[in-house]
Amino acid sequence: MTPRLWAAVALGGLVVALLVAAAVLVPWHRPPAPRADQLAALRDLPAQQVSRGRAFHSALRPGSYGGLLVGLAVALVLGLTPLGSKLVTSVGKPFGDHWVARAVLGGLAVVLVAELVTLPFAAWRHTILVRYGLSTQTWGGWAVDVLKSYAVSAVIAAVALLGFYTVTRLAPRWWWAFGAAGAAALVVLLSFIVPVLVEPVFNKFTPMEPGPLRTELMSLAERDGVPVRDVLVADASRRTRAVNAYVSGLGPTRRIVVYDTLLREAPPAEVASVVAHELGHAKDRDVFTGTLIGALGAAAAVVALYLLGGWGWLLRAAGVDSMGEPRALALMIAVVSVVGLLSSPVQSLVSRRVEARADAHALTLTGDPATFEAMQRRLSTVNLGDPDPPRWEYLYSASHPSTVERMAAARAYARGAR
């Protein structure tokens, strides 16, 4: 068989594996959260809190969706016209037009253009966060975080681009196979190194002081059968008033991380309720599920890009000869951007199902639906959530069940427990 035929077979196999993994590992059955309970919960929330949360999200929407559309437009202009390939070529010329300069510096230049065009929308978002009192950052602190984010992304992208285009040069007919394996391996590697190397770039973590709360959290993890190395406190208050907690890392690097804002805003029982939810992710191996699905998706994307290279009209529009050359990077980004936009509702649905299962786990582990519901009220109040967002936005981008859904789930659990 020809390489293209092998690639088509491999893509079919990867898609089947992806569907099987999603069918088996994603909790498609959600815990009950009757709409009647949701409406009752909405009525129980203070009207001022609901109005403020909705006003906050209304203020965010123009910048959020404007940035999304402008970013997509820039990706399409660079990818579906010769502009992207010319940009890569111009960046490589001062370095003798060497393929490494094209691959790494040219690729980073394409990404940087898209980032700079959408930067005003990110700044707009920051002004909204400051206006509503959710952000505690000055413009200087915000700019430093933006630069840190760019730097981290640039390092990861440079490694990925150098590896990918090395493969395309060494195996011009079979790069899709090695590239798919490399993309999957990179997703797995990032799952391990991000908690250890990337998170400390943005936050300072200190061990929680010995005391009743730390003892309770460690006991909760032990009772749940989730080994954790430590309980850390993140200095989130230097950038936000939002509250949160999470379980980070895999195996020997796993630790419970609690925002210092959560410790200030919530009583210990509610902190334990949030941590119980996060332990549910570890208990049900949600990081493993996300990593596996992400690795299969990344591998499938590389093979699909190779097959798209057979569409002559697409290559001609981008002004390139092959999908495996550095000048085609803008075309790749354009294709990935479109696929990401179209797949967002599916990704959001999967995320909501996973989060709903973690909520059910927290309710079972603590056996305290009243505290769970109180914590959801607090999260919505402090984090300025819209407790019952518009249906279209919920279906397209909501990664978690709404506040009223989570409160309704707690009430349904309480009835079942009784």
CB 220 within 8 A of CB 274: no
Indicate which residue of 224, 260, 265, 359 is catalytic.
359
Indicate which residue of 224, 265, 278, 325 is catalytic.
278
Bridge partners (DSSP) of residue 206 are 233
Phi, psi of 245 (to 5 degrees): -155, 160
- Cα separation, 57 vs 383, in Å, equals 11
Phi, psi of 247 (to 5 degrees): -105, 120
Phi, psi of 360 (to 5 degrees): -60, -35
Annotated active-site residue 359? The verdict is: yes
Annotated active-site residue 230? The verdict is: no
Residues 6+ apart with CB under 8 A from 94: 101
Q: What is the DSSP letter of 322?
A: -
Q: What DSSP letter does each residue of 157-189 carry, written as one string? A: HHHHHHHHHHHHHH-TTTHHHHHHHHHHHHHHH
Q: Which of 94, 92, 104, 11 is nearest to 329 (CA)?
A: 104
- Cα separation, 171 vs 80, in Å, equals 26
Q: Is 199 among the annotated ligand-binding positions? A: no
- For 134, counting Cβ atoms within 10 Å of its Cβ (0-12 exposed, 13-18 middle, 19+ buried), the class is middle
Q: Is 265 among the annotated ligand-binding positions? A: no
Q: Which residues are catalytic?
A: 278, 359
Annotated binding site for Zn(2+): 277, 281, 355
Q: Which residues are annotated as a binding site?
A: 277, 281, 355
